[in-house]
């Protein structure tokens, strides 16, 4: 067996996933395999279940998995991700950049990031950074998303503009360096400069060890972050998979030809 | 009408009520002041029966329990640490314009009879004066009496902040094994600013009645931040009168109550003139069967055009037995003003919890972080780093205490359950 022909093992495997939201079926037999180093884009019309998929993977309690599997590689073994609490998933490297990041008044961004980073360090058996060392680390990550230090001592997302919230999500991604990053409509509400900054940040965080899944409405994000795979999610399952040219075709023709 | 004698108050006076009334009757008008207009009315109240839960004012308070203690009212000592340049003298020694300002402060009636006791028993209160234009870098520290077993401690003080002077004040207030009446009256001249942090840390068997009254002049800024966590029952009244254009008041507080505690906060803001601002944020964290009370009164007087008043009461109930009674009372007699109020009662937000958990923070820790964050918001008005430091560590300590007891209770109920197993 030659090494070159061997397919990389999967990081995430979603098998025949059925999910209900408030008793209503939203995902109806979804299949998806993601390997380290890959960038996937999930596109699709409104209400097709795009956001549901990322929320389920992150472990939001409002989503009821009816059947199917979500398996995730931990220490070279595929584990049932659905058994893990949301914080345990994060500790194993799952990250969700929220479509609508919540505001948490009273908790400073700095404190939030440090608590989060230290929780993950502790889980991975590495020592927590001193406050000063963490600040230094944080500084380098802030440069990545061109964020001003004044955002650190404000409440998490409190009074942030839409674009600043999205940048803050990518800052968190940079700090936590996840293995699987789900970007849920990260491009929505961004002006052209913010889109460039956010995309640059994501591109620089991309490596052969991690995978990125972008859930998006628009082709324009894919001009900045090139996907290896483009999937069309419609009616609760993936109905078409292709390379980046599929996104261009969707832009031109819409979704109707697939439905 | 024939044969009717003068009205006699009902004779259901308790020994405690009798003692308070005797003390009251023997007390004289504070040194150097004419008879205070409010005194006879409040004296009459004290000479009637003890307040009962039927009175609107004491509806939610276990006030009747105090009667049993038979405390004797005594005047007690206040301790100060004065920053450089700040002066102190007894009320009996003031004269001239200083006396005039003291008089205008003293003319304002206390919110209730137990607050009045602070000023009647403490005959010759300290008057602290910050001279014109002075901005000491260190805060003024004020230590209320801790009280002693068997006594009802009464003490008060006055602060005069002259024009363009700036001062930070930390008041430590925490009766131990007794009751305390504690009063503070502030006079802020034009362009002055005061940041006032009051830390209430009464012992769990103590009762406290505290009051602050502030007269705020033209373009003066008064910030009050209260952190209350102790006492069997503590009531704190904050009265502000915005008397000059451009005057502003920021009243923020967090009260953290556990077990059977009752923490009662009342505010009364009077926009006497236009172009004045008031902002209030009152945050209640209530666990076990604790009760919190917030009553926020705002008056915008006729002609106070351009007044802006905002009031927000936010409360977290950490147990099904915990209770909050929150009530805004707005009276607006002017046009072209802004007035907003809101009240929220709830549990921790599930979306907030998920957000933190999705960042690797355990549910337990996420709750801690959110509770602490909720409480820390009460410090939003403070700029002085020293006050912020004191406020931060006080809130952290109290929030941790609250979480620890909750945890140990959870463990206790856990072990009692497992104890039933063979």
Least CB–CB distance from A96: residue in B358, B362, B365: B358
Whether A122 and A87 have beta carbons less than 8 Å apart is answered as no
| Chain A environment of B349 (Cβ under 8 Å) | 102
Is residue A40 classed as helix, strand or coil in its secondary structure?
A: strand
Q: Is the dihedral of CA B118, B120, B122, B125 positive or negative?
A: positive
Q: Is the dihedral of CA B65, B69, B73, B78 positive or negative?
A: negative
Report DSSP state, residue A184: E
Predicted local confidence at residue A25, as pLDDT: 95
Task: Say if the Cβ atoms of B366 and A58 lie within 8 Å.
Answer: no
Q: Is residue A17 part of a domain?
A: no
Phi-psi region of B96 (alpha: psi -120 to 50; beta: other; left: phi over 0): left
- Which of residues B178 and B395 earns the better pLDDT score? B395
Rounded CA separation B178/B147 (Å): 6
pLDDT band at B411 (very low <50, low <70, confident <90, very high): low
Number of domains in chain A: 1
Among residues A190, A253, B387, the alpha carbon closest in space to that of A168 is found at A190
Q: Is residue A71 part of a domain?
A: no
The alpha-carbon gap from A119 to the nearest alpha carbon of chain B, in Å, equals: 6
Predicted local confidence at residue B26, as pLDDT: 65
Least CB–CB distance from B376: residue in A95, A106, A112: A106
Q: Is residue A74 part of a domain?
A: no
| Chain B environment of A106 (Cβ under 8 Å) | 372-377
pLDDT band at B44 (very low <50, low <70, confident <90, very high): confident
Q: Over the stretch B371-388, which tens digit does the pLDDT of each residue have?
A: 999 999 999 999 999 999
- pLDDT over 50 (residue B418): no
**Any A CB within 8 A of B46 CB:** no
Predicted local confidence at residue B303, as pLDDT: 94
Q: Is residue A114 part of a domain?
A: yes
Contacts of A108 (CB under 8 A, 6+ apart): A152, A153, A154, A155, A156
Q: Is residue A16 part of a domain?
A: no
- pLDDT over 90 (residue A54): yes
Task: Say if the Cβ atoms of B373 and A59 lie within 8 Å.
Answer: no
Give whole-number Cα distances, B18 to B23, B47, B75, B116, B179, in Å.
9, 8, 18, 16, 16
**Residue A176: domain span:** 39-51+93-258
Q: Is residue A69 part of a domain?
A: no
- pLDDT over 50 (residue A231): yes
Contacts of A188 (CB under 8 A, 6+ apart): A99, A216, A217
Predicted local confidence at residue B175, as pLDDT: 87
**Any A CB within 8 A of B57 CB:** no
pLDDT band at B10 (very low <50, low <70, confident <90, very high): very low
Predicted local confidence at residue B5, as pLDDT: 39
Q: Over the stretch A102-145, which tens digit does the pLDDT of each residue have?
A: 999 889 999 999 999 999 999 988 888 899 999 999 999 999 99
- pLDDT over 70 (residue B27): no
- Count CB neighbours of B83 within 10 A: 18
Q: Over the stretch B287-334, which tens digit does the pLDDT of each residue have?
A: 999 999 999 999 999 999 999 999 999 999 999 999 999 999 999 999
Rounded CA separation B45/B93 (Å): 31
Query: By percentage, how much of chain B surpasses pLDDT 90?
Result: 67
Is residue A152 classed as helix, strand or coil in its secondary structure?
A: coil
Mean pLDDT within B16-34 = 67
Least CB–CB distance from A104: residue in B350, B352, B360: B352
Rounded CA separation B297/B56 (Å): 14
Predicted local confidence at residue B273, as pLDDT: 97
Whether B276 and B246 have beta carbons less than 8 Å apart is answered as yes
Q: Over the stretch A162-221, which tens digit does the pLDDT of each residue have?
A: 999 999 999 999 999 999 999 999 988 888 888 999 999 999 999 999 999 999 988 889
Lowest-pLDDT range, A2-16, A122-136, B340-354? A2-16
The alpha-carbon gap from A5 to the nearest alpha carbon of chain B, in Å, equals: 36
Lowest-pLDDT range, A21-30, B106-115, B120-129, B359-368? B120-129
Give the distance from CA B396 to its chain's centroid.
20
pLDDT band at B1 (very low <50, low <70, confident <90, very high): very low
Q: Is residue A64 part of a domain?
A: no
Phi-psi region of A189 (alpha: psi -120 to 50; beta: other; left: phi over 0): left
Q: Over the stretch A15-47, which tens digit does the pLDDT of each residue have?
A: 999 999 999 999 999 999 999 999 999 999 888
pLDDT band at B250 (very low <50, low <70, confident <90, very high): very high
- Which of residues B405 and A68 earns the better pLDDT score? A68
Q: Show the tokens assigned to B380.
A: 């939003």
Q: Is residue A85 part of a domain?
A: no
Task: Say if the Cβ atoms of B358 and A59 lie within 8 Å.
Answer: yes
pLDDT band at B89 (very low <50, low <70, confident <90, very high): very high
Contacts of B402 (CB under 8 A, 6+ apart): B256, B258, B285, B287, B318, B371
Q: Which chain A residue shows the shortest CA-CA distance from B362?
A: A87
- pLDDT over 50 (residue B12): no
Predicted local confidence at residue B391, as pLDDT: 97
Task: Say if the Cβ atoms of A155 and B373 lie within 8 Å.
Answer: yes
Q: Which chain B residue shows the shortest CA-CA distance from A174?
A: B359
Q: Over the stretch B56-70, which tens digit does the pLDDT of each residue have?
A: 788 888 887 887 777
Q: What is the mean pLDDT of chain B?
A: 88
Rounded CA separation B377/B167 (Å): 22
């Amino acid at each position: 067996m030659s090494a070159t022909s061997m397919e990389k093992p999967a990081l995430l495997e979603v098998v025949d996933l059925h999910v209900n939201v408030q008793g209503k079926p939203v995902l109806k037999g979804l299949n998806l395999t993601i390997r380290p180093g890959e960038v996937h884009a999930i596109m699709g019309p409104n209400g097709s279940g795009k956001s549901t998929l990322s929320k389920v993977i992150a472990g939001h309690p409002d989503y009821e998995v009816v059947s199917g599997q979500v398996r995730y590689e931990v220490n070279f073994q595929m584990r049932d991700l659905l058994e893990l609490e949301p914080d345990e998933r994060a500790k194993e490297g799952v990250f969700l950049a929220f479509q609508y990041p919540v505001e948490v008044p009273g908790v400073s961004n700095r404190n939030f990031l440090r608590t989060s980073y230290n929780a993950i360090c502790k889980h991975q058996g590495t020592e927590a950074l001193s406050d000063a060392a963490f600040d230094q680390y944080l500084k380098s990550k802030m440069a990545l998303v061109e964020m001003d230090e004044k955002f650190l001592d404000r409440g998490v997302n409190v009074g942030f503009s839409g674009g600043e919230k999205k940048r803050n999500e990518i800052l968190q991604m940079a700090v936590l360096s996840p293995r699987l990053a789900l970007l849920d409509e990260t491009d929505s509400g961004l002006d052209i400069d913010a889109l460039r900054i956010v995309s640059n940040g994501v591109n620089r965080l991309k490596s052969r060890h991690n995978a990125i899944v972008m859930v998006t409405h628009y082709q324009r994000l894919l001009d900045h972050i090139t996907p290896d795979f483009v999937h069309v999610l419609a009616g609760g399952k993936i109905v078409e998979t292709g390379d980046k040219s599929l996104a261009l075709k969707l832009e031109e023709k819409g979704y109707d030809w697939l439905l | 009408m024939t044969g009717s004698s003068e009205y006699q108050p009902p004779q259901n006076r308790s020994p405690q009520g009798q003692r308070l009334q005797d003390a009251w009757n023997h007390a004289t008008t504070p040194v150097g002041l004419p008879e205070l207009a409010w005194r006879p009315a409040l004296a009459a109240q004290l000479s009637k029966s003890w307040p009962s839960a039927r009175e609107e004012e004491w509806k939610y308070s276990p006030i009747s329990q105090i009667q049993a203690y038979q405390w004797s009212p005594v005047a007690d000592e206040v301790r100060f640490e004065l920053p450089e340049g700040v002066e102190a003298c007894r009320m009996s020694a003031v004269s001239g314009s200083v006396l005039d300002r003291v008089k205008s402060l003293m003319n304002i009636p206390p919110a209730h009879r137990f607050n009045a006791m602070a000023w009647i028993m403490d005959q010759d209160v300290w008057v602290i004066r910050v001279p014109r234009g002075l901005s000491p870098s260190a805060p003024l520290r004020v230590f209320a009496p801790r009280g002693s077993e068997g006594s009802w401690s009464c003490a008060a003080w006055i602060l005069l902040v002259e024009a363009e002077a700036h001062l930070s004040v930390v008041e430590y207030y925490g009766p131990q094994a007794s009751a305390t009446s504690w009063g503070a009256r502030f006079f802020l001249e034009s362009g002055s600013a005061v940041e006032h942090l009051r830390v209430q840390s009464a012992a769990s068997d103590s009762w406290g009645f505290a009051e602050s009254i502030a007269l705020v002049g033209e373009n003066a800024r008064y910030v009050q931040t209260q952190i209350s966590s102790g006492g069997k029952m503590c009531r704190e009244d904050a009265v502000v009168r915005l008397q000059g254009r451009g005057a502003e008041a920021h009243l923020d507080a967090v009260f953290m109550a556990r077990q059977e505690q009752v923490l009662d906060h009342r505010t009364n803001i009077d926009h006497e003139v236009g172009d004045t601002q008031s902002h209030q944020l009152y945050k209640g964290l209530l666990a076990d069967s604790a009760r919190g009370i917030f009553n926020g009164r705002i008056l915008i007087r006729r002609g106070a055009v351009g007044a802006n008043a905002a009031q927000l009461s936010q409360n977290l109930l950490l147990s099904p037995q915990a209770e909050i009674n929150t009530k805004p009372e707005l009276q607006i007699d002017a046009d072209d003003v802004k007035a907003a109020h809101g009240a929220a009662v709830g549990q921790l937000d599930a979306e907030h919890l998920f957000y933190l958990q999705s960042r690797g923070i355990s549910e337990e820790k996420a709750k801690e972080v959110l509770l602490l964050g909720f409480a820390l918001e009460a410090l939003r008005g403070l700029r002085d780093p020293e006050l912020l430091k004191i406020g931060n560590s006080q809130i952290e300590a109290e929030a941790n205490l609250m979480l620890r007891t909750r945890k140990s209770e959870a463990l206790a109920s856990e072990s009692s359950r497992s104890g039933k197993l063979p």
